[in-house]
Structure formats: structure tokens, C-alpha cells
Structure 1
């Protein structure tokens, strides 16, 4: 599983990169379906922190985004949304 992290109007520090990688590691249990993850971190209106992700799975793409007051909260919410989407996708395939 390949994880790409890009910053838009924000510098992606080692701490942010490590945090995103640790949160996306929770998706490793669904690694059979996930081919790659592209995460974009950005700041809007100098107060809102946005994290968006495109997950390439077998035969499909899943998208999620989260806007919060801090970047870490935004990444947490993004990881939760992605996990819910991937579980739902896995359930569709197994039925």
C-alpha cells in the first residue's frame, strides 16, 4: 500500500507525515483491497484545516475530506471516514 502526502499552502513536516502514516496504518487490515492512498493537507481561510484523501481500491476510487480547527483533528476525522467507507466497500464485495 502506497501513501502519498501533499501539502497545499502548508508545509508537510515530519511530524505531520508520521501522524498521517500512523493513522493510515489502521487501514492495513483492509490492505487486500487498497492499492494506494493520496492525502492532501491544506489550510483554508487561515483558520480551517482541511485533509482530503483519494483511496484507490480494486476497481474503484473512494474520496473523503474533513475540515476541522486543527490539522491533527482533521486527520483523525479523515481516517475515521475512510475506515467506514472501506468497511462498507468490503461488505459489498463479500455479499
Structure 2
């Protein structure tokens, strides 16, 4: 699994890196077939009073790319919201994979009345 974390207009400290990695353990617990994870952390300074912290993630699994983003006034809160959104997407994708089994035509009972008869 490839993991990249980058920061735009901020330095990624070891504390931020450890926080992201500890939160991503929840994703790995639900779905372990992750190919690539890319996290981008951004600080937007609109005015001096308003500072927006933005976190976004691209998660590549077999057959699908998942994307989530969140915005908050605190970077740690943005990361927590981001992981919550991504966790819901991963669980939904995993359920789709597991529930995609259909019964074959040869296993359908033949005693059903046909429309032609």
C-alpha cells in the first residue's frame, strides 16, 4: 500500500502524520484491500479572522477510486470529519461487493407458472 501525505501552505508535522495514520487504521480494519492513499491538507487564509483548514483524501481500491473532503476551523477536526466520510464510503463499497452475488438461472425453481402457458 502506498501512502502519501502532503500539505499546501502548511508543514506536515510528525504529530499530524501520526494523527492521520491512527485514524486510517479504522479504514484498514473495515477494508484491507487498499492500493493507494493520498492525503492533502490545506490552509486557506481568506481573511485574518477566517482561516479554513481543508483535508481531502483519495483512496484507491480494486475497481474504484474513493474521494472525500472536509473543511473546518481546526485541522484535527477536519481530519476527523474526513475519516468519518471515508469510512461510510468504504463500508458502502464493501457491502456492494459482498451483496453482489446473484443466484444462477439453473438454480431457479422450474415449478413457477409461465406466462406462455
TM normalised by structure 2 equals: 0.77
Q: Which residue of 1 aligns with 2:67?
A: 63
Which has a greater percent of strand? Answer: 1
Alpha-carbon RMSD = 1.0
In 2, distance between residues paired with 1:23 and 1:9?
A: 22
**Any gaps of 5 or more consecutive residues in structure 2?**
100-117
Shift of 1:2: 2.8
User: What residue is the counterpart of 1:37 in the other structure?
Assistant: 37
Greater relative contact order structure (CA < 8 Å, 6+ sep):
1
The 4+ residue runs of structure 1 with deviation greater than 4 A are: none
Query: Does the aligned pair in 2 maintain the 1:3–1:21 contact within 8 Å?
Result: no
The one of 54, 57, 60 equivalent to 1:53 is 57
Question: Which protein shows a greater Rg?
Answer: 2
Higher fraction of helix: 1
Alignment partners' CA distance in 1, 2:93 and 2:45: 34
Structure 1 unpaired stretches of 5+: none
Q: What number of residue pairs does the alignment pair up?
A: 94
